[in-house]
């Protein structure tokens, strides 16, 4: 029986209040309106952003109840009026970073931060309403996507069609984590062949940075983390050496200068810790070092010595690894299908969506890189 044009009842993981855990509830998902797409989600995962929002008061807002999730892939169930780039049955990647194709950023080949990205800050659809209800109450959207629901509604510009043969339980990583890290090295930093890199933070995004550095031809990739359990995986994906700051009495930037002689060519902060940003920047070569902030830092001020900028160093931000949303995601899925990139190494656990709170605990242990949540 066709569900087109009808309200769909399904399960979703809802957070009801700031600091709350996920609750599996039955929700009602309205049909897509003009330029919108309703998707049957197949695979999703907790990213560092959700983990931070669950515990960091600086990131918590007043938009509750909410269906989080911004990393996922699924199959189009139906489309609203005027949708032309996808149709029912298409496999798609969900994108927190839209690509409208019309704004100045989309039209600039060097930019990727589509103006429609800020629509996600309202936690509603473009018309100012929600497509989700639960127990008679509207439920807020998240990150232009809300992937922690068996069905979700997104704007067409936040969805990209991919190869029909692509395994959704693998390529969903292109939706955020892998692309953000891999592109941070290739597109934002523009890592050069023969260079030395330092990567601070060895979660899924950090490991993806390492993959990007290796693909770009870096000859020395130093992985930095306080959890030694992550070192084996880091070396598996391309790190040449791993160090734990807790093993040294001196600041980590001094350790890196000792190891390299004059600092690293490229450093990456993939934690979202203001103090680590300062250390990563200070680890860079004085003349030409580039430090890229990839970890999410919101609601805090950076405290960086101005002396570090009496040099040729540069500090850069990065969103979605510099990829344009729709174009980048489809390209990376094609690269995966052509065996040019390896996503499989990043998925260490697999659970069903109703076990999402178990996935949260797994992520907290540091032994889980990415836990695929199947819907």
Q: Catalytic pick from 51, 228, 288, 331?
A: 51
Q: Catalytic pick from 35, 52, 235, 349?
A: 52
Q: What is the rounded distance in angstroms from the CA atom of residue 258 to the CA atom of residue 246?
A: 16
Range 17-30 average pLDDT: 93
Q: Catalytic pick from 40, 70, 141, 355?
A: 70
Q: What is the rounded distance in angstroms from the CA atom of residue 54 to the CA atom of residue 108?
A: 35
Residue 15 above 80 pLDDT?
yes
| Catalytic residue status for 371 | no
Q: Catalytic pick from 41, 125, 154, 176?
A: 176
Nearest of 166, 270, 285 to residue 211 by alpha carbon: 270
| Catalytic residue status for 61 | no
Give the lowest-confidence range in 28-32, 52-56, 265-269, 331-335: 52-56
Range 41-61 average pLDDT: 79
In sequence order, the 6+-apart residues with CB closer than 8 A to the CB of 310 are none
| Catalytic residue status for 176 | yes
Q: pLDDT band at 119, cuts 50/70/90?
A: confident
Q: Catalytic pick from 41, 68, 100, 125?
A: 100
Helix (H, G, I), strand (E, B) or coil at 314: strand
Nearest of 25, 27, 49 to residue 38 by alpha carbon: 27
Place of tokens 């969900």: 94
For residue 26, give Cα distances in angstroms to 9, 11, 135, 204.
Answer: 7, 5, 8, 30
For residue 200, give Cα distances in angstroms to 88, 259, 301.
Answer: 42, 15, 19
| Catalytic residue status for 103 | yes
Q: Catalytic pick from 41, 47, 211, 291?
A: 47
| β-bridge partners, 43 | 73, 374
Nearest of 122, 53, 119 to residue 299 by alpha carbon: 53
Q: Which residues of 55-79 are buried (b: 16+ CB within 10 A; e: fewer)?
A: eeeebbeeeebbbbbbbbbbebbbb
| Catalytic residue status for 114 | yes
| Catalytic residue status for 52 | yes
| 114 contacts 97 by C-beta, under 8 angstroms | yes
| Catalytic residue status for 368 | no
Q: Catalytic pick from 53, 114, 197, 242?
A: 114
| Catalytic residue status for 47 | yes
| Stated pTM of the model | 0.94
pLDDT tens per residue across span 200-228: 999 999 999 999 999 999 999 999 999 99
Q: How many residues does the structure list for the chain?
A: 375
């Amino acid at each position: 029986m066709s569900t087109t044009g009808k309200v769909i009842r399904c399960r979703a993981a809802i957070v009801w209040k700031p600091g709350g855990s996920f609750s599996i509830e039955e929700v009602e998902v309205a049909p897509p309106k003009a330029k919108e797409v309703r998707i049957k989600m197949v695979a999703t995962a907790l990213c560092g952003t959700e983990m931070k929002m669950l515990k960091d008061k600086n990131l918590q807002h007043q938009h509750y109840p909410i269906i989080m999730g911004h990393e996922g892939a699924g199959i189009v169930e139906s489309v609203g009026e005027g949708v032309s780039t996808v149709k029912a049955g298409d496999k798609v990647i969900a994108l927190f970073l839209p690509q409208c194709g019309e704004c100045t950023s989309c039209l600039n080949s060097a930019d990727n931060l589509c103006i429609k990205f800020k629509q996600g800050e309202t936690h509603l659809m473009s018309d100012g309403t929600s497509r989700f209800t639960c127990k008679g109450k509207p439920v807020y959207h998240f990150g232009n996507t809300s992937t922690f629901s068996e069905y979700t509604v997104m704007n067409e510009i936040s969805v990209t069609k991919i190869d029909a043969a692509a395994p959704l339980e693998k390529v969903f990583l292109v939706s955020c984590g892998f692309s953000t890290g891999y592109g941070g090295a290739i597109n934002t930093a523009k890592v050069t062949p023969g260079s030395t890199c330092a990567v601070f933070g060895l979660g899924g995004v950090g490991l993806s940075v390492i993959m990007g550095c290796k693909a770009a031809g870096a000859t020395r990739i130093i992985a930095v983390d306080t959890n030694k359990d992550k070192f084996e995986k880091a070396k598996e994906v391309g790190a040449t050496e791993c160090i734990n700051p807790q093993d040294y009495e001196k600041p980590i930037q001094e350790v890196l200068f000792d190891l390299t002689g004059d600092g690293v060519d490229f450093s990456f902060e993939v934690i979202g810790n203001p103090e680590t940003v300062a250390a990563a920047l200070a680890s860079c070569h004085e003349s030409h070092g580039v430090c890229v902030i990839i970890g999410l830092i919101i609601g805090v001020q950076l405290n960086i010595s101005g002396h570090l900028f009496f040099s040729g160093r540069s500090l850069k931000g990065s969103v979605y690894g510099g990829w344009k949303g729709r174009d980048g995601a489809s390209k990376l899925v094609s690269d995966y299908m052509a065996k040019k990139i390896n996503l499989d190494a990043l998925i260490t656990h697999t659970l069903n969506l109703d076990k999402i709170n178990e996935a949260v605990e797994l992520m907290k242990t540091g032994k889980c890189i990415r836990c695929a949540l199947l819907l």
